[in-house]
Structure formats: structure tokens, C-alpha cells
Chain A
Amino acid sequence: MYHQEAESALPPYRILDLTEGGCMLGGRLLADLGADVIMIEPPGGSPSRTGPYYKNIIDPEKSLFWWAYNANKRGITLDVAQAEGRKLFKDLVLKADAVLECFEPGYLNHLKLGYADLCEIKPDIVLTSITPFGQNGPKEHYQASDLTIWASGAYLYACGNPDRAPTWIGFPQAGLFGGAEGAIGTMTAIWHRNNTGEGQYVDVSMQESALSPNLNVLQMWDVSGVEFHRLGGALYVPSTGVQQPIYFECRDGYVMILIQGGNEPFISSSARLVKWMEEEDMAPEWLVKLNWKLDYDATTMGQPIADRVGEAVERFTLTRTKAELYEEGAIKRQILIAPVSNTRDISEDLQLKSRNYWEKLEHADLDDSIVYCGPFIRMSDTPLKYQRRAPLRGEHNDEIFGEELGISREKLNSLKEKGII
């Protein structure tokens, strides 16, 4: 837990955030680190105020997606496509260190708000653009979505069951990677600006970040000419073609058990599992006698033994819950087990509770306080702070346009009427 009075890492910086979707995570991370991040929505409200919704009430102000990725930011509405909106945006840029955006390449140039235009009014500005394929190149104008970007990174091909289409992770990830890269790129550019006084343009490609999780899959092809085939979670041994089952059904779902032999720490872990099964009278004699070093060595074993072990283990796991297998198996008996957790298991996780992970934010407008995922990292001297819930539409219009830019109430009303704010 942190002290409210502790300093933050990034308070000197103001970031204007024009992003949507998962890319909004980038500004959120900078806001958690203490930067003053201003979310700019179109006057009608952002299309990223999507479901699921608070208490299932379909209302853009109750979007959990919006809440999750815009907490700690302030928010204004502004139509940068209109001339007066552009002027106001430029006034804001004058006081900002960086701008984050994820429009189609060329859109800001078309509005005369591109990097060169912003440099004219603020030469050391950092402009960070997060797009599916980057600003230039043969795919710059490809129509894309989170799923199609994921497909372009080849990681999708490595995931899913072998007898069906590859499958993504059910909650879209590519935009979040793009947002995180945008935050790192922005801070790298700000560091450079602090050294040299020179701003620059940051061009993020979400395709490139979608290549990242491939572990060694790309190199297996490039170096050895081996094409990786998805296995729905089984362990595949390329030299023998054997698939070792590691996911097992249990009473209330699934667990992963890294049942392997040949090497430590797997031999001991597998032996401890058999011992536990034996204590429960669920280990067949052949399994008790199995030599994990020699008989279950991935480089020499055959498929029948893998299947036989898998079946015996699953007969046992079916008698236990995820929590029992995790607490007694993994934590107490030191077997390499991980529960396949769902959102309830995560919410009830003992470790997260013990580290006081969850943070609450007041939603005074709803007369409620809401639990959020806690600090993404612990910083001893500049702890991440949870200061405010995500902004309502135009919540800080008066504060920012009125108090900071000194725009009169009459003028604000007229801008509102014209649909600019």
C-alpha cells in the first residue's frame, strides 16, 4: 500500500490522449505513473464506451471497458474535425508534452494537425501514432481490427486446436499491446527531448507488437525450416512427434500439470504427483513403477505412454477442484500445477488479496465504489496511485477550457451549441 503524499514518477508531463479501444491503455499507464493525461472524446462520446456495462445497464457512462482503460485521466470533448475545434486543440498542444492518437494514417495531416503542423506551434512536441501497420508502407491503409492484426502477427496461427481454425484470446489483445508500446515510445521520446530539446514522431505498429509473443516459433521456421503446428495446449516434442498432455479436467474446470520426465525439476514434480495419487489410492501400479527419468523422457518416449499417463492423471484430477489442486498440489506439495483460472478464481485469488492488489475508486455519481485491477508494478519511491475514476463525457470541459484556457462561459455555451465541445 502507498501513502497518498508520496511522489509520482511523471507529474511534470501533460499528455493529450486521442486514442480509442485497447490503445487507451497507453495513456492510462502514464496517468498511473502520475502524468496529467487528458482524454479527448468526440462530442457525441467515444465509440470505445462499450460493454460490458455496470449492472448491465447499457449506457456509455457505465462502460466497464471505458472505466478500466481511462481511470486516472481527465476527460474533455472536442471535435478536432471542425476549424474551431482544431484551434482549441492547438491551444491545448501548446501546454502539452505529448499527443497520443490512433487515427488512420494521414487523418491528422488532412486536418492540418499532423506532426509538422504541431511542430509549427510547439517545436518540441512528441506525437505518438498507434496504428495497425504503421504510418508508411504497402499495408498502411489496410482495413484492420484487433483480430486481423493478431492474424498478421502469426501468433494466432500458433494458438488453438489442431483440427479447427486457429483461435485468438477471447478478450482482444492487439490494441492493448499497441497502447503499451505507445506509452514506452512516448517516454523514450520525452527522455530524448529532455536531453536535447528536440521532439519527435513516434510511429507504433501493432502488427509488430503482435509478433512479439511468438517465443521461438518464428525462429523455428527461419533457422530450422520447422513449421510449428498448434496443439491446443499439449506439449509437442518436435524430434519424436510425441504430444504430452498437460491440461486435465477437474471437478470444476481444468488445471495444467507440467507432467514431464527426463530432467529436473520435472522428474521430482511428477513423482510427487504420483505419490499424492498413491496416498489417495488412485495410482495404478504401473504408474507407481514408472521411471520418470528414463520411461518418460520426451526425446525417447512414444505416444502410448503419454496417453496412458494422461488418462490416469485425469482420473485423479476429476476428484478434485482447481483450488484443491492448486493449494495442496502446487503450493503444499510443490507439484508443477496451475489452475486454469476464470474471472471468479482471479477475483478470489489468495495471493492477490494478500498483497492488497485490488484498488477501489469512488464513483460518487453512482454512489458506489468500484474495485479495479491494482498497480501494474510496485515502485518504492513513486508508487502508482489511484486518484480518480474514468471521466464522464466532457466532465472536465469547464476545468480545462474554462479555467485553464480562460474561455468564457458564453463562448463555451456557443461551442457546445455548435457541437464543437
Chain B
Amino acid sequence: MDGKVFDGLKVAEFAWVIVGPAASRYLAEHGATVVKIESHKRLDTLRGTSPFANNKPTVDSSMAFGRHNPNKYSVSIDLQHPHGQKLAWKLIQWADIVTESFSPGTMEKWGLGYEDVRKLRPEIIYLSSSMQGRGGPHSGYAGYGMNAVNLCGFTEVSGWRDKRPAAPHGAYTDYISTRFGALALISALDYRRRTGKGQWIEQSQFETSLHFFAPPIMDYQINGRIMERDGNRYPEAAPHGVFPCKGNDNWIAIAVLNEEQWRNFCQAIDQPHLAERKEYATLPQRKKNEDELEKMAADWTRSLMLEEAEALLQRAGVPSHVVARPKDVYEDIQLKDRGYFVPMNHPVMGRQSYEPQSSFILSKTPRRINRPSPCLGEHNEFVFKNLLGMNDEEIAGHIADGSITTELPGQFKVSM
């Protein structure tokens, strides 16, 4: 026992891109063995996504893939090949957990769907995650993370009243779905420990992500009010926004949530007399005069350097933080203190910084990144031989018939 939580737990990961792979990372960071089932014939989208180390796009040099897959092993299997499906079965026999995120029906087509698996492995925990779930008129809807952020309402409430919605960047809801998936997996494990029973966990990323927007949905269903975008305003605070500092595109976020913070804010901007003014004394009054307050805040921040503004506000006791740029987080003193970025040597990419998936540190069994993201098929030998007990001859046979893939069918192409 080396003190890790999920030591001995085995995950066969058919899931790709973000939602499933990020969910299993919670387990991998706490000791589970996760084997990614990939293929040279159907590359994980992230392997074709920039940035590429040394600006050399290859199948093994994307840190978009790297970011989402440290701690894992990779095998390359052609699941369309009958012998590839046999290998997949061996991995399923080995595993405690199976994850997949293909369009509904794909695993079934290969004979690897939950109903098939359950017959042989009733104790398996099997997670299927798709954009809109099984069944229903939109089940086959093409699942891009960018679609879900629109369906879930997040785009509509992002941006300014006088402009088009400004969609949250990237595949926002993937990062919500991931967390609910991980929690369901651990809960299913807990249930299995007590009862011996496995089960099927079926996730519609759309349904999951609505929980991050539940009160505004209830507000429509009960009160008929449709939530609209309104910059950075928030009904429970004023001023509440993002204000410019000296320099180009430098911003600081400030939130004044109550009367005490309002007094502190007046101190910070060196206008303590404002705290006495009746028209700003309570939240409803500050909301009424919010335009003025925002102008006041911006007039003050504009003449300051970012760090200066943050220091003055923090000293006075006002919630505030610079709007960090990507480069800032690599220098963030707090993240350094928590050991957030973990440098690892990758065989192709060289030294790279990895991020943990768990945003928590357990005092006795802390999260760990102990291997870099895998190259495609890097662990074929280790997995088939050491984990599954196959011999060299069998493995060579699979390579010869193409069910273990070893080469890209064409030239490597960047997808994003």
C-alpha cells in the first residue's frame, strides 16, 4: 500500500476528446490504472489540435492532447477489425470501469455496448457519455462541445446587451460534464463495493450541464422571466465588473457585495466621503446608480498598474483579482505554492508542464501526476503483455493483421 486511493482499480477508456478522458483522470491521479484505447485510423481530435511542441505537428506532440491525458497508458487498436474487437474484449475483461463517448450506437455496432458487456461482466461499471443522450429525436445530433454551450443557455447570457452574444470560449460544458461523470463513477464503485453489482451510467452532457444554470431556468418556468446577458453585472453586487488598468488589454475584476465592502472600496479609491452618500448606501441604491459607480471605478483603475490596483483593493478588503492572462497563471504565486503545474519529461515533446484535473488536495493521499501523456500506442507491449498476459507471438499476429495499428493511414493532418 503506497497510500494511493484507487490503487488496483482498472479503467478501459474508449472515451475520447475531453469529457470521458478528463473524468477518468480523477481516478488516475489517485492511483487507478487507465488504459486509453486509441487507433491510428481514427485519431483523437485533440492529437490534431494545437499547440504542438517545437512547432512540429505530429501525432505525439500536441499539448492540447497532453493537457487532458497525463498518467495514462495508450494502446492502438482498430475497433472496426474483428481481431481488434477481440483485443477490446480482453481489455474489458481486465477492467473495473469502461468509459466511452462515441455517438450513441457506435459501441453497440462493434458488439461492445453495455448490454453485450454486462452478459459477461455483470460487475462492470460502464459510462456512456454523449451530447444529448440515448433515445429522443436529437440523440444523433452531431456532438461538438461548442454546440452544447449554446444549447445550455451559457452563450445567450454571455456578452453585452447591445451586442451579439459572445460565446464562452471552446468546449465549456465539457468541463462541467467531466465532473459529474467522475462523481457518478466513484459512487457506482462505492455501490459495487457493498453489493457486488455493476451498472450502466448514461450521460447526456446537455442534461448534466443545465445544473450549472438551474436557477435561471426555474425563474423562467415559474416567473416567465428570460435571463439576458448584461456584461459583468450581477444582481447581488454593485459595483461588480471588469475594469481597465494601465497598458494594453489589462483588466481587473472587482466585486462589492455588501455595505462593508462598499466602505472598503471607497477607502481604496481614496474617496472615503462617498461612503456617507445616501444614494450609494444600500445595494438597491447602488444598483440604481450602477452606471456612475462603474465609471468611478474605471476612472480610478485606469491610472493604475494591474498589481497596484489589486494590492490597494486587497489591502482595503475588496474582492478583486487581476484578469489573469495565460502567461500570468504560470507565474501565479498561489498556484506555485500548491504545486499546480507539474513538469514531466515527454519522450517526444521534451519537458512540459502538466495540470492536475482534481482541484483538491487530499491531506494523506494527495493527487499525483507521475507519467506524461502517452504517445499513440506507446504501451501496446506493456498492456498486452504485462497487463493482459499475451505472448509475443499473439501480439505479432495482431500487428501483422492490422488489428493493432502502428501507422497512420495517410499524412498527419492538423484538425484545429
Contacts and interface: CB of A to CB of B under 8 A. Distances in A.
Q: Does B associate with A?
A: yes
Nearest to A354: B136
Interface string A143-174: 11111111111111111110011111111110
Contacts of A347: 217, 220-221
B91 to A, nearest CB: 22
Contact of A184 (B146, B183, B251, B333): B183
Given A170-B230, A184-B183, A381-B191, A154 B329 contact: yes
Interface string A233-272: 1000010000000010100011110100001010000000
Nearest to B321: A148
26 contacts: A7-B195, A9-B187, A64-B215, A148-B254, A148-B320, A157-B326, A158-B169, A167-B160, A167-B166, A167-B231, A170-B229, A171-B216, A171-B227, A203-B361, A207-B335, A213-B169, A216-B64, A216-B170, A232-B167, A247-B165, A338-B147, A347-B221, A351-B132, A355-B136, A377-B184, A377-B201
Contacts, number: 496
B382 interface: no
Interface in B303-331: 313-314, 317-330
A217 interface: yes
A166 B323 contact: yes
Contacts of B51: 216, 219-220, 222-224, 226
A235 B90 CA distance: 42
A224 B146 contact: no
Contacts of A238: 50
A192 B164 contact: no
Given A180-B180, A221-B325, 20 more contacts: A52-B215, A55-B223, A64-B218, A138-B333, A144-B319, A147-B319, A148-B321, A152-B322, A157-B324, A157-B325, A205-B338, A205-B361, A206-B359, A207-B334, A222-B353, A226-B51, A232-B159, A343-B153, A377-B181, A381-B191
Interface residues on A, range: 35 or more
Interface in A280-295: none
B299 to A, nearest CB: 15
B153 A342 contact: yes
A355 B179 contact: no
Interface in B27-70: 30, 49-53, 55, 63-64, 66-67
Interface residues on B, range: 35 or more
B112 to A, nearest CB: 17
Interface in B135-168: 135-139, 141-142, 144, 146-148, 150-160, 163-168
A382 B188 contact: yes
B199 interface: yes
A112 interface: no
Contacts of B64: 215-216, 219
B240 interface: yes
